[in-house]
Amino acid sequence: MKTATLIIRLLAGTFILFFGLNKFFHFVGAEMANPDSVTYFTGLVLTKTVIIVGILEVLAGLSFLANAFVPLFALILLPISFNAILFHATLEPASIGGALLLLILNVFLIVANKDAYKDLLKLR
């Protein structure tokens, strides 16, 4: 299990770092077939939400690659993962694969680090 966790963590770190940096340097263009997708994404750009998400993705990717604060960044990344799934499910279903991969990798890392959340989930 440790080897699988290491591989998934490094894969997730590379994947997230690449797409986080893509928000700043535009390595891969976003081809959106649905005009509503363009409207939605324009709103994210205008409100600087894309910058915030990009920064969080870069930090999470670096965290996963360095094996530092992995449980924290896995939790921080969870809403971003769900938002990516919802965006693709409702507006761009043909390109949902990357979002699904992000969510699967993220959930795996949360489960692999479940002991780190015990105090957080303890009922008082």
Instruction: Tell me the C-alpha distance between 42 and 66, whole Å.
Output: 33
State the pTM of this model. Answer: 0.92
Q: Tell the burial category of 69 from Cβ atoms under 10 Å away from its Cβ (0-12, 13-18, 19+).
A: middle
**pLDDT 10s digits, 71-83:** 999 999 999 999 9
pLDDT tops 90 at residue 32: no
Cβ neighbours of residue 11 closer than 8 Å, sequence gap 6 or more = 105
Q: What are the boundaries of each domain within the chain?
A: 2-121
**pLDDT 10s digits, 69-122:** 999 999 999 999 999 999 999 999 999 999 999 999 999 999 999 999 998 888
Which of these, 106, 103, 94, 77, lies nearest to 37 by C-alpha position?
94
Q: Tell the burial category of 41 from Cβ atoms under 10 Å away from its Cβ (0-12, 13-18, 19+).
A: middle
